[in-house]
Amino acid sequence: MSHASDTTLPVEHIPTGLNSKKLIMWLFLASDCMFFGTLITTHLVYRKIYENIGVDPIKIFDIELTTASSFILLMSSLFMALAVSAIHKGEIKSFRWNLIGVIIFGSLFLCGQVYEFNHFVHHSGLTLSSGTFGSTFYLMTGTHGVHVAMGVLWLISWFFYSFSPRFNAHENAIDVETAGLYWHFVDIIWIVIFTAVYLIEYV
């Protein structure tokens, strides 16, 4: 005779005591960190030759717009932290409202990036094929934008899933926390990109 306890195996933790889902996310973020590190390093190495192809970043960039977008993205991290705290406390309504804040702020950041790209292409003539500057800029910031978009879609799915009868704040808290790790990572990477790509040109 078989018993339910015979087929129920612990899946949340590995022998080290760490949560397996969080560990997998940390490993993914570590590999992603190296990927972004390569993109950022390439940009910094080749930025000295921009002037040789007639590109003046200071004349192209709208530092006020990008600063505002950066502030919006950083504020989304606050909402994300509050959402994680709320679900751990079982406060579902608070969790949903803070999640909406993250989604809105993340979407606003993406809108700002789309506007910026459109301005660069149609008003400044900067495209992906515009030498080293164009290729490194669009590849780096575009890849980050894709990460933000994936995060927004992920959080939207959590928002709708929170209305499902299958949703359980206690059981799903670790999953939301894992999504929070991803979102905070995306924000930190943008701080580095904003400094390396935009602010450094004004130094």
What are the tens digits of pLDDT across the range 146-158?
999 999 999 999 9
Question: Among 73, 70, 65, 86, which residue's Cα sits nearest to residue 158?
Answer: 86
pTM across the whole model: 0.86
Which residue did the predictor score with more confidence, 6 or 12?
12
pLDDT at position 203 = 63
pLDDT at position 134 = 81
Which residue did the predictor score with more confidence, 138 or 125?
138
- Helices 92-119, 131-161: crossing angle, 10 deg rounding: 160
pLDDT at position 16 = 54
- Helices 92-119, 169-193: crossing angle, 10 deg rounding: 30
Q: Is residue 91 predicted with pLDDT exceeding 60?
A: yes
CA distance 161 to 156: 9
| Mean pLDDT, range 174-195, rounded to an integer | 95
| Average pLDDT of the chain to the nearest whole number | 86
pLDDT at position 148 = 97
What's the chain's Rg over C-alpha atoms?
A: 21
Q: Which residues contact 22 (CB under 8 A, 6 or more apart)?
A: 174, 177, 178, 181
| Mean pLDDT, range 44-68, rounded to an integer | 76
CA distance 65 to 13: 44
pLDDT at position 67 = 93
Around Cβ 55, how many Cβ atoms within 10 Å?
20
Number of residues in the chain: 203
> Could you give all domains of the chain from N- to C-terminal order, each with its CATH number?
75-203 (1.20.120.80)
Determine phi and psi for 19, rounding to 5 degrees: -70, 130
pLDDT at position 164 = 93
CA distance 76 to 105: 6
Determine phi and psi for 23, rounding to 5 degrees: -65, -45
pLDDT at position 61 = 84
**pLDDT class for 62, splitting at 50, 70, 90?**
confident
